[in-house]
Every structure is written in C-alpha cells, then in structure tokens.
C-alpha cells in the first residue's frame, strides 16, 4: 500500500460525517430505512446501482444516495471484490474479513504513514485511522478523555486479528516518539505488551466450527500512557473463560490451542518428562491431525521468556497441562456392589498414576477423591461411593478447576509484568475483544453468556449513539426527525431484568439443594416469562429448550445441564488434594484461592451467571466513562473461504448491528459536540487574531465564566465562517449552535483545527522573531564588549612582552660582551710567549688561571702527536718539534696527556688541533723557527675534548692551515 493509493479525492468537501445539504433536507430523506417499498425510492436505487464500476469508490457509506440495505450491500461487495476491506459507515468502521494474509496492509511503513499524516481521514479507510483518532483524542485535541476501541462482530469475523493490529499500532506509534533515554524502557514495555497476546491466545482460544482462532474468553486491554502519550504499561481484564471446553469439546471442534502446541512442539526429552510418548492419543484432544496457524509452541515459549516466566516455572505449567490430558484418558466402570466405588481397568490405572506423578499428588488419594465423596452430618463425616457419572463429573471438575486457576494465574502474572504504577500514567486507550455472537446446533450456558455480552455491547452502541445522540439533537433545538432503529433493551430485560428474568430464575434453581430437572425448569420459565415477546418454546421438541430472539437472530438454548454449569460446584476434597500437592505452582494457586475465599470450603457461593454479570457491568461502567470508537467486523461467508462474498450472510449482519441506521444518523447529524465554554476557550483566538475579522466580531476568551452567551459563540462562528471559501447558505450543514453546545461535522472540526494551527504558528513565528532579534542584539553587544576587552588585554600583553624582551636583550648583550672579553684574555694568555708578554707589557694573568695548568713534563722516548687547543694550532705550522715532558704529579701528567696526543708518524711529529676538525681557529701569526711550549690547562669549557675526525675543515681554518696540510 502506497501513500498515493491511500489518499482520497481532494475535491470532495465534507466527505465524512457532514454532507453537502442542510440538516432538514437530510432528515427528510432519512425518515425510515424501510422506504425501499416505495416506487420512487426503487427508482433511485436502480439509478444508483447502474454505474457499478464506481461503486467501489465509495469509501464512506454516508455518500451513498439513497441509503438502503441494498445500496450499502452492493458498495461493500464491489469494494471487497477490489480487495478493499475497510469502509467508513459514519461513526463506525466496517471491516470485511479477507480470510487470507494481506501483509502489506499492516506494515510498519503504513503505520507511520497514517500516524504522521496531518489529516488521516484523507487516506483510504483503515483500522489505523480509528486508532489514530483515538490516539489524537488522548493527546488533548479537545479534552483529555480516556478512549475505548470496541471491536464487535460474529465469531470468525476477524475481531482477534483487528485487536492485535490495534495493539501493534499503539505499541509502535507510542514508542516511536520516545526520547533516547527512555528508548530501552519503551521497547521493553512494548515487547511485553505484544508478547501477552500469544500466551493469552494459546490458553484462551480454540478452533471452532466458525473460526480457527476463536476467543473463548473476553478481554479488555488498557494501554496505559503517560503525559507525553508514551506507552508505559498495560493491564488485562478477562471475562468468562469457557473452561468446560477442557473436558468437553463440541463435535468437529478442538480443545484450547496450548494442548495441541504441547503435543506437536515438545521435544523427545520433554515428552519423556511429561509422559507423553509419540503416538499416544488423548480423549480430550479431538481433531489433533488438523493443523492451524496457531499451533506454534516455540512462539508461546518465547513469549513466556520475554514476559519473565522462568524455565523452571514453564516446566511446572507444562507438567500440569500434561497431567490434565492424562486425566481425560481415565474411564470408570460401574461396580456391581453399590457400596463399593467404581473400578478402573489397568490402562486407566496407568493414566491415573501418570496424572498423579505429573500433578505431584499421591495416586491413592487422587483415586479416592475421584471415586468417593465425603458427606458431613453434623461433626461426623461419612464416605459414600460415587456412581460412574459422578466419578466422570468429578474428574472433569478437577481438570476444569485446575485449568481455570492456571489461566487466572497467568493473567495475574502478565498484569504484574506489564502493568505500570498508577503514578506513572494518566490516561489509557482500551481495546475490547470479546467472543462474537454464536449460534450452534447445541447451545448451552456458555452461548447464553456470550450472546448476552454481545447484547450488552449492542445496547451500549444504541444508547450511546443511535438513541442518546438523537435525543440530544432535539433537546438542543436542532430540527431533527428521529431515525428508527432496532432497540434490544427488551431482550436484555428478558435475560438480566428484574425482578424476573432468565438469569434470576436460573440462579434460584441453582441455589436449591436438590437435583435439577430440565423439564421442571422449562415449565417455570414458560410460566414466569410468557409475557416477553423475545422468548418462545417449541412444545413439540423432545429436548427441553427455550428460544431467544437476539438482535443478531434467534438462538435455541438447551436447558439440560444448564443449572449444573451455573452452580459450577467444586468438591472440597479436590481442593484439599491440590493444596497438598508437591508442585510449587499448584500449591501457590490453590493456597491463594483458599485465602481469598476462606469460607467457601471448596463450593462456589457465587453462580457463573452472577459472576459474569457483575464483571460485565463493571466493564460497561468503564466504557461509559470513555469515548468509544466502533469497529464492526463482518464475516463475508460462513465457510471462511478467501475473497468469497455471500450476500445473505452479510445482509443479516448489517441489519443486526444497525449499520444502515448508523449511516442515516451520521449523514444527517453532527458527530462532534462541544460545550460553549470549551469552544470559546479553544477557538476564541481564531476571532482574536484572524485577518478577516471585524471589530464587532472580536471575541475574547472568558475562562472563568460559567456561562458563555450564545451571542458570543455566534459572533465567533460568523467570524470563522466569514472566509470567501464558504457559501453562507450551507453553514447549517457544517455547524449548528444549540442551547448549550456547538454541533460540528468532522469537516468543520478539521477546518477549525487547521485555522487554529495557522494562528498558533503565526504567533509562534512572531515570538520566535522577537526572541531571535533580542538574541541577535544581545550577541552584538556582547561581541562589542568582548572586542574592547580583548583589545585592552592584547595591548597590555604586548607592552609587557616588549618590556621583558628589552630587559632580556640588555642582559644578553652584557653577558655576551663579558664572555668575549674573557675569551680574548684567555686566548692571549695561551698563545703569547712569556718573554713577549714581558716585552709587550702584557697584563699579568690572573694567578688562579696561571696556577691551573702550569706543569713540567719529562721526556717521552716515543714520538707522540701533539693535540691541544690553541697550542696545537701553533704547533701545526712548526717545521719540527722536540718536546721534553717532565711529570711532577699524576694529576698534572693526566691533564697534559688529555690535551697532548703525539703519535709516531715516520719519525716525525704531527700536530692535530681541536680547532682543525671543528672548523674553529684563531691565531695571531705563524711561528718562526723553533717553538717553545708553555703548557697551561685551558680555562675554556671544551678545550681539552677530542672532537670527531670526520668533519672537514672549512672557512678561515682552511686558509690558515693550508701549509701544514
């Protein structure tokens, strides 16, 4: 599905919940849905159906003209043939089950497309539009009210899949806008909320004649949102699990999915542990050869892990389920002696032993509890053997109570895992998924309760929309003609009314301490309820029954066994046995049960219908405090064949749920109703800041006033509708000002929201401009101040640096001059002869310097090379040198030897100077004749070091030493 394919034609104005004619004209056209008998209407229908190629383009049935069951049916059929499965019907969404996977219809890209769309109504109808409307309402578009999504329809119409899509949508969009710091938490909550679905469906859904994944319980899921509309948790409320299916499966139907998952997905090691060898058949697993999509054991185990159910606890759960299956294979045989309990054959004893081991209870005690009952007479207890039927009933009762309590424990664990603290969330979006309307060949108490729940939901729709909305139109002064509709209140009075109803009579019969008789109960029903037209009896039927005319059709209910199911007795011996179990989970479940009902002593005090009625009433209270959004799921054919449309099947469902009447009211009415005060508070700024307003039309918001005058609201509406794009003659079809409220169509509301958003954008732009101008001026002033400060600091730093440089230069110059003078004096002292110094009146050397290096050297027999500085430079030019060295001390000798190095070279002496290799030399004049050596230790730092011999002589040294080389 692409965005281009999803968009509606833009040229249509008021395309949903607000037609293009006046209210009076539309109400005249909607007097009765039975006008198909009129010839003129027949002509209009034929004219409308002539252009069949355009029928699939009606994405909102309020555009159909005329609105009749035939035209609505034809449009739905045309859209279904084009693989378009969603259609708007006023305030409700009609969803046709395709009975085949449509993956591109629910992808993540499609979710984001509907979520980020400015106007989702411009897209093609989709379940995501309903979800997004509820999500935007919770964001406070008008007022903060909790939302409820009511998904209804027959069994197999696609309610469970629709609820799953809604949960996936909210888990995605509520987490997509989360900040980085909370991303991990949101993903964890999102995953846990979604992982609750596979577990609930595995333990609560089963394959029936009408649906491969039929919900055998009702659930209301509250998705909890914080102030930022982020998903922080969820809670699940369940209603009336069909636990009788554990021990009794109708013909051609299956048990709960989890048992088949256990059989098909367990490994060999697990089968050995659970005592379920391959090839073994179980009496309570019929049609095990049939494979459905929900038989996925790995998915259930993975969901358990994500929800925090540890491996050890999982093993305990699966052992209990395996023990239940072993109970089903036990068969009792009647004893010839009535004083003796029923007997078990060898195979049944083996199954009993396996069940006892899996349930961790003693086998003998289990056998006794199933075959013998305890009667109390005062303080004494009497043991009485049970008949074969009673033994089977006690076996079934044990299996049902274990499974029911295990299911309740799972629901509690899921709630503890995903439910957020009340302080962390402020609003919720509820998703209601209940069993659909059922009518089988044999219907009993379960079908009566299921259909009763559907009657309550239908009545909620009737009371909230069909009846209450029309009554409000009249009370607010709108010109309105009532649209007739089917009211099912009489059927509800029959089932739950006071003082006499089916439920009340059933409870009275259940509380009598006697065996129930189906014929007697039927006679009483006929006597007490004969005045109600919704109940009837077939006097010629052999089986006692009664027939109820529900909103969706007539259903025959079998009376046999109904009273016993309503009692739902649990023998106290079975409860005591399970409390003594060594299995930690069983012990925990039934210990908590005894703690909650300490006086029950194993026998239920509250009947099934009373408990179900109370839970359903609490659900209706929640729905009445929320804003409902209806989705009607339609089953196009009874055989669940892909893309097969049966007209008779669909028309019955459309008439039962009142789709045609809903379309009439939606086309002629105003689905949006806002009190005057709230309207002025939200949209008064449009008149205040509108560019086309006049001074007399300016309306200020009076937040503290309890009563906003009608004239002020009308002035505001006149300003809002003063745009040239609107025709003044059609204002009444867009908006109506009642006595206390303003009535709007969806198109008018969208226009008001768009105008308000534009004004808020302009105001925000003005604020941003002023703020940016202030910030710019502030930055300019700061930049100038910083420039002045930087200039002053730099000037001071430069002056200080220059001053430091001057001082340093003076110190360097002075030191350099002193050093040069010292070197000059030392050089003169070393190079000049002593006599020359006397003759030339050279100043006498410092005594300290003279004392440092004067030595007498003894003669050395072996020729040596003289190396010294600057003495060696003078010797380099001498023709021949004879040296006599007299050593007077070791230190003096070593000092001289460090500065003189005279190796032998062809009997001659060669003088090598330090300056020769270093490229530094200084000499006054070449010596003439013989040279007298006056050896002194040089005061210079590096004078007596021997430099390397690899450097070349360059510069002035090369000129001076040319002759010597």
Give the catalytic positions in this structure.
Answer: 155-156, 160, 211, 214-215, 436, 438
CB atoms within 10 A of CB 113: 18
- Return the structure tokens found at 479: 């010109």
- Return the structure tokens found at 471: 């009554």
- With b for 16 or more beta-carbon neighbours within 10 A and e for fewer, the 933-951 pattern comes to bebbbbbbeebbeebeeee
Cα–Cα distance for residue pair 242/217, rounded to 1 Å: 6
**Contact indicator for 632, 657 with CB cutoff of 8 Å:** yes
Helix 159-176 with 183-204: angle, nearest 10 deg: 170
Cα–Cα distance for residue pair 506/562, rounded to 1 Å: 8
Give 603's contacts (C-beta < 8 A, 6+ positions apart).
569, 570, 571, 572
- Return the structure tokens found at 266: 């367990």
**Contact indicator for 741, 675 with CB cutoff of 8 Å:** yes
Phi then psi for residue 467, to 5 deg, are -90, -55
CB atoms within 10 A of CB 779: 10
CB atoms within 10 A of CB 839: 10
With 0-12 CB in 10 A as exposed, 13-18 as middle and 19+ as buried, what is 736?
buried
Alpha helices in 597-658 (DSSP H): 608-624, 647-657
Instruction: Give, in order, the Cα–Cα distances in Å from 469 to each of 300, 465, 490, 913.
Output: 44, 5, 20, 122
**Contact indicator for 677, 103 with CB cutoff of 8 Å:** no
Cα–Cα distance for residue pair 518/516, rounded to 1 Å: 6
**Contact indicator for 194, 186 with CB cutoff of 8 Å:** no
Phi then psi for residue 771, to 5 deg, are -65, -40
Q: Which of 839, 876, 860, 846 is nearest to 936 (CA)?
A: 846
CA angle 937, 943, 947 (to 5 degrees): 140
**Contact indicator for 876, 923 with CB cutoff of 8 Å:** no
CA angle 151, 152, 154 (to 5 degrees): 140
Cα–Cα distance for residue pair 405/588, rounded to 1 Å: 10
**Contact indicator for 79, 87 with CB cutoff of 8 Å:** yes
The conformation of residue 245, written as its DSSP 8-state character, comes to G
Look at residue 116 and give its three-state secondary structure.
coil
- Return the structure tokens found at 40: 């003129």
Q: What is the DSSP string of 789-811?
A: HHHHHHHHHHHHHHHHHHHHHHH
- Return the structure tokens found at 708: 């906003």
Give 442's contacts (C-beta < 8 A, 6+ positions apart).
250, 558
- Return the structure tokens found at 415: 């709630």
Phi then psi for residue 153, to 5 deg, are 150, 175
**Contact indicator for 206, 245 with CB cutoff of 8 Å:** yes
Cα–Cα distance for residue pair 653/647, rounded to 1 Å: 10
Furthest-apart CA pair in the chain: how many Å?
168
Cα–Cα distance for residue pair 457/623, rounded to 1 Å: 10
């Amino acid at each position: 599905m692409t965005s281009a394919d999803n968009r509606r034609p833009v040229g249509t104005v008021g395309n949903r919940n607000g037609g293009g004619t006046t209210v009076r004209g539309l109400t005249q056209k909607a007097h009765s849905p039975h006008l198909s008998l009129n010839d003129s209407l027949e002509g209009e229908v034929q004219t409308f159906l002539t252009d069949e190629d355009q029928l699939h383009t009606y994405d909102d049935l309020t555009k159909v003209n005329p609105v009749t069951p035939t035209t609505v049916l034809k449009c739905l059929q045309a859209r279904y043939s084009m693989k378009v499965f969603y259609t708007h019907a006023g305030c409700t969404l009609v969803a046709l089950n395709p009975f085949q996977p449509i993956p591109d219809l629910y992808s993540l890209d499609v979710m984001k497309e509907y979520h980020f769309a400015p106007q989702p109504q411009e897209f093609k109808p989709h379940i995501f539009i309903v979800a997004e409307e509820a999500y935007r309402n919770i964001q406070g578009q008008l007022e903060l009210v909790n939302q409820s999504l009511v998904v209804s329809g027959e069994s197999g119409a696609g309610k469970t899949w629709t609820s799953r899509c809604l949960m996936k949508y909210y888990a995605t969009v509520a987490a997509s806008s989360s900040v980085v710091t909370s991303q991990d938490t949101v993903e964890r909550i999102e995953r846990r909320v979604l992982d609750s679905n596979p577990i609930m469906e595995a333990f609560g859904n089963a394959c029936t004649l009408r649906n491969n994944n039929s919900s055998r319980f009702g659930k209301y899921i509250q998705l909890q949102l914080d102030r930022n509309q982020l998903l922080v948790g969820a809670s699940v409320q369940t209603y009336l699990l069909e636990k009788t299916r554990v021990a009794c499966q109708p013909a051609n139907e299956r048990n709960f999915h989890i048992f088949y998952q256990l059989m098909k997905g367990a490994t060999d090691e697990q089968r050995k542990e659970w005592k379920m060898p391959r090839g073994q058949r179980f009496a309570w697993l019929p049609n095990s050869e049939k494979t459905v999509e929900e038989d996925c054991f790995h998915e259930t185990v993975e969901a358990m892990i994500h929800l925090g159910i540890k491996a050890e606890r999982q093993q305990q759960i699966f052992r209990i389920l395996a023990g239940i299956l072993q109970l089903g294979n036990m068969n009792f045989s009647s004893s010839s002696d009535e004083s003796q309990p029923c007997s078990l054959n060898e195979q049944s004893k083996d199954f009993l032993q396996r069940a006892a081991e899996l349930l961790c209870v003693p086998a003998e005690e289990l056998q006794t509890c199933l075959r013998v009952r305890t009667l109390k007479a005062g303080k004494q207890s009497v043991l009485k053997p049970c008949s074969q039927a009673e033994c089977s009933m006690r076996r079934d009762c044990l299996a049902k109570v274990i499974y029911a309590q295990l299911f309740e424990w799972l629901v509690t664990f899921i709630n503890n895992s995903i439910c957020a603290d009340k302080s962390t969330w402020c609003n919720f979006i509820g998703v209601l998924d209940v069993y659909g309307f059922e009518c089988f060949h044999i219907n009993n108490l379960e079908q009566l309760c299921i259909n009763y729940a559907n009657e309550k939901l239908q009545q909620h729709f009737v009371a909230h929309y069909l009846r209450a909305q029309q009554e409000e139109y009249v009370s607010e002064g709108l010109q309105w003609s009532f649209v007739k509709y089917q009211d099912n209140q009489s059927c509800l009075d029959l089932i739950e009314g006071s003082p006499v109803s089916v439920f009340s009579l059933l409870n009275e019969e259940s509380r009598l301490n006697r065996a129930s008789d189906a014929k007697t109960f039927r006679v009483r029903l006929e006597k007490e309820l004969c005045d109600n037209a919704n109940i009837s009896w077939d006097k010629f039927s052999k089986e006692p029954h009664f027939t109820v005319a529900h909103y969706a059709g007539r259903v025959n209910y079998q009376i046999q066994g109904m009273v016993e199911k309503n009692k739902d007795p649990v023998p106290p011996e079975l409860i005591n046995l399970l409390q003594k179990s060594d299995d930690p989970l069983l012990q925990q479940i039934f210990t908590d049960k005894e703690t909650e009902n300490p006086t029950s002593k194993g026998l239920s005090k509250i009947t099934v219908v009373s408990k179900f009625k109370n839970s359903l009433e609490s659900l209706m209270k929640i729905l009445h405090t929320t804003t409902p959004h209806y989705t009607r799921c339609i089953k196009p054919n009874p055989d669940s064949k892909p893309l097969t449309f049966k007209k008779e099947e669909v028309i019955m469902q459309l008439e039962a749920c009142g789709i045609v009447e809903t379309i009439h009211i939606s086309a002629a009415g105003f689905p949006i109703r806002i009190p005057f005060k709230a309207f002025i508070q939200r949209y008064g700024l449009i008149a205040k800041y509108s560019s086309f307003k006049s001074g007399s039309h300016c309306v200020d918001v009076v937040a503290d006033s309890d009563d906003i005058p009608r004239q002020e609201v009308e002035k505001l509406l006149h300003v809002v509708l003063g745009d040239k794009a609107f025709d003044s003659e059609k204002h009444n079809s867009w908006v109506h000002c009642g006595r206390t409220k303003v009535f709007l169509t969806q198109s008018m509301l969208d226009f008001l929201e768009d105008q308000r958003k534009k004004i808020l954008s302009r105001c925000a732009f003005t604020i941003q401009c002023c703020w940016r101008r202030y910030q710019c001026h502030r930055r300019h002033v700061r930049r100038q101040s910083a420039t002045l400060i930087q200039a002053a600091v730099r000037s001071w730093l430069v002056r200080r640096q220059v001053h430091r440089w001057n001082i340093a230069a003076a110190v360097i110059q002075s030191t350099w001059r002193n050093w040069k003078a010292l070197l000059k004096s030392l050089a003169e002292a070393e190079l000049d002869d002593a006599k020359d110094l006397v003759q030339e009146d050279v100043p006498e050397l410092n005594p300290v310097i003279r004392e440092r290096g004067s030595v007498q050297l003894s003669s050395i027999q072996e020729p040596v090379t003289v190396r010294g500085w600057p003495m060696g430079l003078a010797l380099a030019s001498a023709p021949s040198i004879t040296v006599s060295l007299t050593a007077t001390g070791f230190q003096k000798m070593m000092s001289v030897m460090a500065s003189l190095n005279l190796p032998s070279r062809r009997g001659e002496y060669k003088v090598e100077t330090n300056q020769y290799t270093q490229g530094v030399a200084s000499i006054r004049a070449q010596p003439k004749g013989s040279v007298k050596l006056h050896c002194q230790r040089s005061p210079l730092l590096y004078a007596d070091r021997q430099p390397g011999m690899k450097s070349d002589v360059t510069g002035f040294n090369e000129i001076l030493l040319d002759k010597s080389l």
